[in-house]
Structure 1
Amino acid sequence: MIIFLLRRIGAGLVLIFVVTAFTFFLTYGANIPVARNLLGNSANAEQIATLNAQLGLDKPIFEQYFRWLTSTLHGDLGTSYFTNQPVAEALAARLPVTLSVVVVASIITILVSCALGVASAARGGIIDSILQGISTIAFVFPGIVLGILLVFIFAIQLQWVPAIGYVPFAESPSAWFLSIIMPAVVLCIGGIAAMAAQVRGSLIDELGREYVRTLRSRGTSERSILLKHALRNAAGPALTTFSLQFIGMFGAALFIEKIFALPGYGTYAFNATIQGDLPAMLGVSLFGVGLVVVVNLLVDIAAGWLNPKARTS
């Protein structure tokens, strides 16, 4: 197991290095007019050159990269050109917002999709058809439309939850939950459909295997076969699907944060890209690839625990 983890961690570190290096040279080599954006169109060439020198943008690109890499290895992600706020501090302030929504959406996705997938595989017939129909509708239904509809019904008409904004958990757990439950529901709709289909398909395959027939011949209850044996073996592909859904939720978080006016990671990444805020863009990229590595590592660990053969694959 130790060798299994070391291989995964090593591959993850290499991926982080390659992706961040590529992102650095892509962004810093794109000749984004940072000084012009900061000073405005009225700035003259001398002012622009002076600001570029202050920011270090007049240095050779490889020198800029090694300076950024050295600072990053010491925990310094740089300072935003436009807000003068340290990038690490800005990400730390915004990540709890996005993580709150994504984690709650993930919990809903796991619970509902597993329930739908197991019910479809075990019951079959009309129940299976109904659940597949629900999953299909959920998959194709636009999340933005659903978000607007939920705001209108539950926030404006019924006034059960706030329409916009975010309340920190430390300030009020109940208000925190009310501020993120609608964004989480909107975010998880498509994921539920995809994961439920994966659970259903994998579970049907497992229920048709020889060991299931052997367990039935020994008098093992259907409930035990389904939940203790077949579902565990079918969890591997579902975990892979979930990891992709979890990562995808961070990409979709931008649209959710715009609808519900949440000051999260997606909004910060969008503003950094629009402004050409290079340190912020690199910080966002570093966190994004780091997230992919961590999630995949956790999925590999879970898959290795569920199926020891996966450790040697």
Structure 2
Amino acid sequence: MFPIILRRLALSVPLLVIVSAITFILESFVPGDPARTVLGINATPEQYAALRSAMHLDRPVAVQYWLYLRDLVHGDLGSSLFTGESVLGLIGQRLPVTLALVVGGTVLASLVGIVLGVFSATRGRLSRRLFDIVSLLGSAVPNFWIALLLVAVFAVKFSIFPATGYTPFAQSPGEWANGLILPVISLSIAGVAFISKVTRDAMLSILALDHIRTLRASGIGPVSIVWKHALRGCGLPVVTTIGLMMITFIPGTILIENIFTLPGLGTTVVDATNQHDLPVVQGLTITFTVMVIVVNLLVDVLYSLLNPKVRTE
């Protein structure tokens, strides 16, 4: 298992460099001048030139990126061009919100999706066709539309959950959980549809195998066959789907956070892009990339636990 982890971590280093380089280059083409935005239209030419020099904006893009990599190696992600706040500190403040959404959405989608998939696989054809229709709708409807619908019903009409805002966990765990219910549900709907469909198809294939018939003939109960033996055989495709869904949830939080006004990485990256705040955009891009790498690493570890042959490859 450890060689797999070390190999994946080694491969992640050039990935981080490539992603940061692409982001740096693309951000340089965004219209606008950060120095002019910071100083305003009333600044003197001398002030403007001095600030551009301090921000290294008067140097070629390649030199700017090299200076950024030099600081990054020393653990310095720079500071915001507009607030002067440390990018690392800013990410530390906003990361818990995004992690709560991603982890909560993944857990909810996994639990509901697996249960629905198993239920559909063990019922008749009519229930499977109805399930296919519901699954198709769940994967086709945009999550922002679901979010707006949930806000209109459960926040505006019935006032059960708050429509916007975020309460830190340390301040009030109850209000923290209450404020995340609608965003997590909005984010997880598409994941429920995909995970349940993969679970259903994998379960149908496993239940048709000879060793399952042998277990039935041996008098093993249907509950034990389904949840103990067959579901374990579905592990690899289900884990793969859960990992892919978790990765899609990471950029999906950008839209959800903006709808529910949550102070996470999603709202921060939108504000930083609009302001052309390159250090913040770069720091957030690296953070999102690291999150994807961690998810892939977790999937590899689960693979090795479910299938020992993976450890020897």
Give the gaps of 5 or more residues in structure 1.
none
Amino acid at match of 1:120: S
- Deviation at residue 117 of structure 1 after TM alignment: 0.5
Give the TM-score taking structure 1 as reference length: 0.92
Per-residue Cα deviation, 1:244-282 (whole angstroms, up to 9, x for no partner)? 211211212122122211111100011111111110111
Amino acid at match of 2:127: I
Give the TM-score taking structure 2 as reference length: 0.92
Q: What residue is the counterpart of 1:311 in the other structure?
A: 311
Partners in 1 of 2:211 and 2:13 — Cα distance? Answer: 40
- Deviation at residue 43 of structure 1 after TM alignment: 4.3
Partners in 1 of 2:26 and 2:105 — Cα distance? Answer: 33
Q: What residue is the counterpart of 2:120 in the other structure?
A: 120
Give the gaps of 5 or more residues in structure 2.
none
Amino acid at match of 1:88: L
Does 145-154 or 60-69 show the bigger shift? 60-69
Amino acid at match of 1:288: F
Partners in 2 of 1:292 and 1:139 — Cα distance? Answer: 22
Q: Answer whether contact 2:202 2:234 (CA < 8 A) is retained.
A: yes
Amino acid at match of 1:67: L
* Structure 2 residue 208 is matched with structure 1 residue 208: yes
Q: What residue is the counterpart of 1:87 in the other structure?
A: 87
Does 209-218 or 107-116 show the bigger shift? 209-218
Per-residue Cα deviation, 1:153-211 (whole angstroms, up to 9, x for no partner)? 22222222212100111111111111110111111111110111111111212222233
Partners in 2 of 1:279 and 1:127 — Cα distance? Answer: 52
* Structure 2 residue 241 is matched with structure 1 residue 241: yes
Partners in 2 of 1:186 and 1:279 — Cα distance? Answer: 30
SS in 2 for 1:123: coil
- Deviation at residue 31 of structure 1 after TM alignment: 7.8
Correspondences of 1:1-313 after superposition (within 5 Å):
1-28=1-28, 33-43=33-43, 45-313=45-313
For these two proteins, the number of residue pairs brought into alignment is 313
Q: Answer whether contact 2:4 2:300 (CA < 8 A) is retained.
A: no
Q: Answer whether contact 2:118 2:199 (CA < 8 A) is retained.
A: yes
Q: Answer whether contact 1:101 1:181 (CA < 8 A) is retained.
A: no
Partners in 1 of 2:33 and 2:25 — Cα distance? Answer: 15
Per-residue Cα deviation, 1:230-249 (whole angstroms, up to 9, x for no partner)? 21121211212111211211
RMSD over aligned Cα atoms: 2.0
Amino acid at match of 1:141: V
Partners in 2 of 1:256 and 1:22 — Cα distance? Answer: 25
SS in 1 for 2:234: helix
Partners in 2 of 1:81 and 1:140 — Cα distance? Answer: 40
